[in-house]
Amino acid sequence: MKCDGFEAVIDDLAKSVIMDAAVRDQALLHVASCQRCALRLADERELTAGLRALAVASAAEAPARIEASLLGAFREQQAALRTPLTSRRATHRWLYVAAGVAALVAIVMLISLTISRTRDSGQQQKPEQAIVTPTAPAQHQEPAPGLTKPPAPPEQKPSVNAPAAGAVSRRAKKTGATRGAELSNDATTEAEIVTDFFPLMNRGAGQLDSGQVVRVELPRSALMSFGLPMNMDRADERIKADVIVGNDGLARAIRFVR
């Protein structure tokens, strides 16, 4: 073993810690032949002894007041930990109660809303049926005053009448077979301006048990055939109209829509 190798193990050798026996023997053999390393080892052993003595002598401990202070802190911490837990549980309990109450209120509101909608739809189906399946013969056999009297031109002064009068003034812009059922639903429809219905044939309304309202497009010149004024500048444009078609396939009345 050389001096460098000895330096690497001198601490363990001086402190007499457990080490490889072969390395220890080689180190001691080197010490026997090297005066400098022998002195180094002696110094190291001296230092080790001094440090051990110092460790033994340093038997100081923290003062008792530190323990008392820490115990106080420990108790405070435990108390603080218990308090939030209790309040947290109470908070959770109130949250559950509040959630239950809210759910109950929501259910009651849902039920009442459903009931009111059912009533509303029951009330609104009557005018709808009056339009789609008119039961008043006068509306079709003899045109109502609103029908006989030429209404204001749709492009200038549209008339706005109540649905109960047999003519719907503001209607949904709908297509398809369900249009008739949805016509009366003002809340969900887009506003349209319509004329009154003009009868298309002199048939008794009693023959019209039921029918459909069909949205069609006509040449604007059709306005003139019903005695309505027409802007000649827009003669080439088309105009929308609702036609009541009976179950026999015959058109019974027409109104113009803008």
User: How far is residue 237's CA from residue 234's CA, in Å, rounded to a whole number?
Assistant: 5
Single out the segment in contact with another protein by CB under 8 A; choices: 26-34, 103-111, 191-199, 223-231.
26-34
* Amino acid sitting at position 105: V
* Amino acid sitting at position 248: D
Size of the site for another protein (CB under 8 A): 47
Cα-based distances in Å from 72 to 64, 77, 200: 13, 9, 100
Single out the segment in contact with another protein by CB under 8 A; choices: 27-35, 106-114, 159-167, 206-214.
27-35
Question: Would you say 67 or 237 has its CB closer to another protein?
Answer: 67
> Of 124, 138, 255, 149, whose CA–CA distance to 208 is shortest?
138
Which of 37, 147, 183, 213 is in the footprint of another protein by CB under 8 A? Answer: 37
What's the first-to-final CA gap in the chain, in angstroms?
113
Which of 51, 95, 97, 109 is in the footprint of another protein by CB under 8 A? Answer: 51
Q: Which distant-in-sequence residues (6+ apart) come within 8 Å of 12 by Cβ?
A: 19
What is the per-residue binding string for another protein in 57-96, x denoting contact by CB under 8 A? xxxxxxx--xx-xxx-xxx-xx--x---------------
Q: What is the nearest approach in angstroms of another protein to the Cβ of residue 91?
A: 22
The answer to whether residues 15 and 52 touch, using CB atoms and an 8 Å cutoff, is no
Q: Does 105 bind another protein (CB under 8 A)?
A: no
Which of 5, 19, 25, 47 is in the footprint of another protein by CB under 8 A? Answer: 47
Residue whose entry in the numeric block shows the structure tokens 């090297």: 34
Footprint on this chain of another protein (rule: CB under 8 A): 2-3, 7, 10-11, 15, 30, 33-37, 39-40, 42-63, 66-67, 69-71, 73-75, 77-78, 81
